[in-house]
Structure 1
Amino acid sequence: MRMLRCGGTGLMMKDRVAASRRVLIANYRYFISSGPERYLFNIKSMLEGRGHTVMPFSVRYGQNEPSEYARYFVSPLAGEDEVFFDQHRKTPATVAKTLSRLFYSREVEQAVTRMAEETRPDVAYVLYYLRKMSPSLLVGLKKQGLPIVARISDYGMFCGEHHMLRDGRPCTLCLDEGLQNEVRHACVKGSRAISALDVAATTFHRAKGYFDLIDRFVTTNPFMSEMMIRGGIDPARIVCIPTFTDMARFHPDADGPASPPYMLYVGRLDEPKGVHVLIEAMAMLRDRFGGDLPELRIAGEGHTRTYVDGLHAQAARLGLEGRVRFLGGVAGDDIPLLFRGALFSLMPALWYENLPNSVVESLSSGCPVVASDIGSLAVTITDGVDGLHHRPGDAAHLAAQAARLIADPALRRRLAAGARETAERNHSPDRHVSLLEGVFDEVIGEAGAPAAKRAAIG
């Protein structure tokens, strides 16, 4: 029985009691770096709290959280402290391993096979794996007859740039017209050579049928489901389960926003997030409100120092000292306090996004969201109910929408109440994990019968 689909009739859940399962959960980092890892540790805790055994499989990094299963983890592409591609030393060994993980890694296949043989999981829950572990992960799991559920966090299956972003705007050429456009526009790292390698790897993966080994794809929002279908994935293999948050930690403040008031951005400081558009909008708001303009607090770090430094330089150039405060990385325990005290949060994304944790946390905190009218944000935030939309990349429109909330306390209060109601309806932990347990039970039941997917894979 299908329990959940993205569609006009909404999301449904049946009453059920889940059996205790042994879940192998795979992700290419085992420490909190960004939203996907926050989800990893949150869902691990939730599943364990409901009696399941969760066994992580990842890459060995010095920052990893301790785990009794670390002996199965695979080696990193470079050093154990070189997490991101831009940090990798370009040695022959690093280049060779990067190419292996891009196409197919025997090391990963053998490591996950050994883990599955020795720990006997019932199901595999796969998060990020492309390019740092490769689809060899799927092969190793399926050779053990394991059903595989993969949660989709970006567009890497269809677009080498992952964000479907080109020249600061969404681009679906690879999805609609073919991967050759990735090379034509040098989409990966601005290099046609690197883009060609990515196209070759994706073509190889498709030809070998590796993505067909995935029994269910979990998306976080209806927009992503639609894009997966547009990319050729059978709708019967797609299940939409919205991201959840801890409703007890992220809750409204009975006393309302803090004094002095402030606006808030929480997230990565990377170009697709559109933080530079937000700073430009702040200059327009300063011109309108003068000394009465609330401060903008920006919490987060970036993958590239160049972009982060550029944001600081942009704020200084626009004379926003004292109006924009960069908080850097913020401890997890402090994030709920930030949302509780904010007038509203902002998510000025340029790409389609994949329902960021910070948006759900803001809603749960009763903090309205001013978000780009694009992708998952457009279908998660309802304009005039729990937040406001603005045209993506349009600093003037972003400033105008923020100005409405600054100037209208009654509107803020109404949207704040709507935000919490949206979170309670769509993003509660119990709802999320119950739906996920249902998917696990479903694919485990299907795997009990002989199927071509369980045959040996060469």
Structure 2
Amino acid sequence: MRILVVHNRYQQAGGEDSVVAAETQLLADHGHEVELWAEDNINLSIGLKGKIEAALNTNYSVGSRLIAVQKLRRFLPDIVHVHNFFPQISPSVYDACMDEGVPVVQTLHNYRLICPGAMLMRDGKVCEQCILGTPYQAVLYGCYRGSKLGSFVVAHMVKHHRKHGTWLNKVDRFIALTEFAKSKFVEAGFPEDKIAVKANFLFDPLLNPEGSGSITPPFALFVGRVSQEKGIQTLLNAWSGNTNLLKVAGTGPLDALLENQSNVQSLGRLSSGEVSQLMKEASFLVLPSEWYEGFPLVLVEAFAHGLPVLASKLGSMVDIIRDGETGVFFETGNAEDLANKARWLFDNPQERKILSANARSVFLEKYTADQNYHELMNIYQDASKQRAN
């Protein structure tokens, strides 16, 4: 099978980019011919002219459509898998595929197609106003990067393609990362029968381990962006009275909050190998997110390492984590509940050991590369049948 993978990278690399790289490698490892068409947002033009061009192209880029046609005619793919078209590639890639008769699969990594801010979050709280209402509401609040003008541009993209049936008619199969995410897109009017649920996966880090878990004092681990939506403030409030160590791997706009915090060690951005070593040594992972996470790759990494997860009971986390089996939930945004649950995990190593074994078992059952490959192939086949009909 020949597969054209389409991805618009963000200026700050994240889990989505890692998923694209892993899936591309997975397909190549199984003998498929894969070509990656990647645009990089770091190359966006600056200045007024550049911003105007970017705004016009966000809704529909004629230039990207021409590039897509050229790639389709040269590479002759059997399927086009779009991970992210925002903002440079734009939905015009779908029209190029329709003209050339190539089926399209679109992964829904976030909520951009129904929420200009992409996170269903506003002012630090979950917000679903744009699911059923007009996306132009986002302009009032500057939901896209705090900019009313930027929010208007993205809201126009969402509204235009909703009105013209782009999501209904030009994509053969969508991939939602969890049943919860699927439910939100269906609520927003996406065709339920076109949305498959396929989780992210991880190449097993314990098949060829480099080093092993060492005996260290118990510590909890946070891995991710140090930002409001990730629940950093709640986490630090909870840790103010905790005598055990919390290690934070990551950076973000709230880095300053980590300074001079008792029993909190800020490690900055680490390599995947360094994170893996930390997961072998940690007592549990903390995931205090306060927005509807898609499917954070760090969760799969934790399960792969047999690391229990202490997570906020919100959105997709309820689909992924089994409370009392692979992890423990706390009430979202409740620092006292988080502190109590963390204390319980530290104080009960035998129960942690059971959670650890369960987490590893779930990884082997649901999130391995082989399992993901078979699910992806089924989705590609369904998309091909849809286009043929």
TM range (shorter): over 0.9
Which aligned pairs between 1:136-151 and structure 2 lie closer than 5 A?
136-151=92-107
Cα distance change on mapping 1:221 and 1:258 into 2, 3 Å: farther
Cα distance change on mapping 1:160 and 1:113 into 2, 3 Å: same
**Residue 406 of structure 1: aligned partner:** 346
2:41 is equivalent to residue 41 of structure 1:
no
**Residue 9 of structure 1: aligned partner:** none
**Residue 395 of structure 1: aligned partner:** 335
Q: How big is the shift at 1:202?
A: 1.7
Local SS of the residue matching 2:220 = strand
C-alpha distance after superposition, 1:76-130 (max 9, x if no partner): 322xxxxxxxxxx4x1221122212321111111111111111101001110112
**Residue 222 of structure 1: aligned partner:** 179
User: AA paired with 2:24?
Assistant: K
Query: Quick check: 380-389 or 334-343, which moved more?
Result: 334-343
In structure 1, C-alpha distance between the alignment counterparts of 2:87 and 2:264, rounded to whole Å: 36
What percent identity do the matched residue pairs reach? 26
C-alpha distance after superposition, 1:431-451 (max 9, x if no partner): 1111101111222233334xx
**Residue 206 of structure 1: aligned partner:** 162
C-alpha distance after superposition, 1:213-235 (max 9, x if no partner): 11111011110011111111111
User: AA paired with 2:71?
Assistant: M
In structure 2, C-alpha distance between the alignment counterparts of 1:122 and 1:358, rounded to whole Å: 32
Match of 1:310 among 228, 247, 256: 256
Match of 1:363 among 303, 309, 324: 303
Which aligned pairs between 1:116-135 and structure 2 lie closer than 5 A?
116-135=72-91
2:36 is equivalent to residue 56 of structure 1:
yes
Cα distance change on mapping 1:208 and 1:192 into 2, 3 Å: same
2:281 is equivalent to residue 335 of structure 1:
no
8 A Cα contact 1:139 1:210, kept in partner? no
User: AA paired with 1:99?
Assistant: A
Cα distance change on mapping 1:268 and 1:250 into 2, 3 Å: farther
Q: How big is the shift at 1:247?
A: 2.0
8 A Cα contact 1:257 1:343, kept in partner? no
Richer in strand (by share): 2
C-alpha RMSD of matched pairs (Å): 2.2
C-alpha distance after superposition, 1:350-407 (max 9, x if no partner): 1010110001110111100001100111211111000000111111111111111011
Q: How big is the shift at 1:255?
A: 7.7
2:234 is equivalent to residue 277 of structure 1:
yes
2:44 is equivalent to residue 77 of structure 1:
yes
Match of 1:325 among 259, 265, 275: 265
User: AA paired with 1:311?
Assistant: L
TM-score, scaled to structure 1: 0.80
8 A Cα contact 1:257 1:342, kept in partner? no
TM-score, scaled to structure 2: 0.94
Q: How big is the shift at 1:166?
A: 1.2
Cα distance change on mapping 1:165 and 1:198 into 2, 3 Å: same
8 A Cα contact 2:311 2:328, kept in partner? yes
2:301 is equivalent to residue 301 of structure 1:
no
Note the residue ranges of structure 1 that are not aligned, 5 or more in a row: 1-20, 63-75, 79-88, 450-458
Local SS of the residue matching 1:27 = strand
8 A Cα contact 2:177 2:200, kept in partner? yes
Match of 1:380 among 309, 317, 320: 320
In structure 2, C-alpha distance between the alignment counterparts of 1:255 and 1:109, rounded to whole Å: 49
In structure 2, C-alpha distance between the alignment counterparts of 1:351 and 1:59, rounded to whole Å: 27
Local SS of the residue matching 2:9 = coil
**Number of residue pairs matched by the alignment:** 388
Which aligned pairs between 1:419-458 and structure 2 lie closer than 5 A?
419-449=359-389
User: AA paired with 2:29?
Assistant: G
In structure 1, C-alpha distance between the alignment counterparts of 2:60 and 2:233, rounded to whole Å: 37
**Residue 85 of structure 1: aligned partner:** none
User: AA paired with 1:278?
Assistant: L
Query: Quick check: 254-263 or 398-407, which moved more?
Result: 254-263
Cα distance change on mapping 1:31 and 1:187 into 2, 3 Å: closer
Match of 1:261 among 215, 218, 234: 218
C-alpha distance after superposition, 1:282-338 (max 9, x if no partner): 1132xxx3xxx2x21111233xxxx233323xx42xx42xx2122112112222211
In structure 2, C-alpha distance between the alignment counterparts of 1:337 and 1:92, rounded to whole Å: 46
C-alpha distance after superposition, 1:132-157 (max 9, x if no partner): 32111222222211100011111111
Which aligned pairs between 1:165-184 and structure 2 lie closer than 5 A?
165-184=121-140
In structure 2, C-alpha distance between the alignment counterparts of 1:362 and 1:252, rounded to whole Å: 15
Query: Quick check: 398-407 or 22-31, which moved more?
Result: 22-31
User: AA paired with 1:77?
Assistant: L
Query: Quick check: 227-236 or 256-265, which moved more?
Result: 256-265
